[in-house]
Amino acid sequence: MSAERLYFRQLLAGRDFAVGDPIATQMRNFAYLIGDRGTGECVVVDPAYAAGDLAGIAENDGLKLSGVLVTHHHPDHIGGSMMGFTLRGVKELLEESTVPVHVNDEEKSWVANVTGIAPSELTGHGHGDKLSVGVFDIEFLHTPGHTPGSQCFLVDDKLIAGDTLFIDGCGRTDFPGGDSAAMFASLRSLADMPINPEVYPGHWYSADPHASLDSIRDNNYVLRPRSLAEWHALMPG
18-58 pLDDT, tens digit per residue, is 999 999 999 999 999 999 999 999 999 999 999 999 999 99
pLDDT band at 1 (very low <50, low <70, confident <90, very high): low
User: Sorting pLDDT into bands at 50, 70 and 90, what band is 81?
Assistant: confident
Is the distance from CB of 148 to CB of 163 less than 8 angstroms?
no
Contact (CB, 8 A) for 18 and 24: yes
Reported as a pLDDT band with limits 50, 70 and 90, residue 237 is: low
The stretch 79-95 carries a mean pLDDT of 88
Question: How many angstroms separate the CA atoms of 46 and 30, rounded?
Answer: 8
Q: Give the chain's domains with CATH numbers.
A: 6-234 (3.60.15.10)
Length of the chain: 237
pLDDT in the model for residue 96 = 86
In 10 A of CB 57, how many CB atoms? 18
The model's pLDDT over 110-152, given as tens digits with 9 standing for 90+, comes to 999 999 999 999 999 999 999 999 999 999 999 999 999 999 9
CB within 8 Å of 137: residues ≥ 6 apart: 130, 131, 155
- In whole angstroms, give the CA distance from residue 30 to residue 45: 9
pLDDT for 236 equals: 78
Cα atoms found within 13 Å of the Cα of residue 227, Cβ hemisphere only: 3
Phi, psi of 191 (to 5 degrees): -60, -30
pLDDT number for residue 233:
94
pLDDT at residue 84, rounded to an integer: 79
Give the CA count within 13 Å in the CB-facing half-sphere of 16. 19
The proportion of the chain whose per-residue pLDDT surpasses 90, expressed as a percent, equals 93
Confidence category of residue 97, pLDDT binned at 50, 70, 90: confident
- What's the pLDDT score for residue 2? 72
What pLDDT is stored for residue 86 in this prediction? 87
pLDDT of 67 strictly over 90: yes
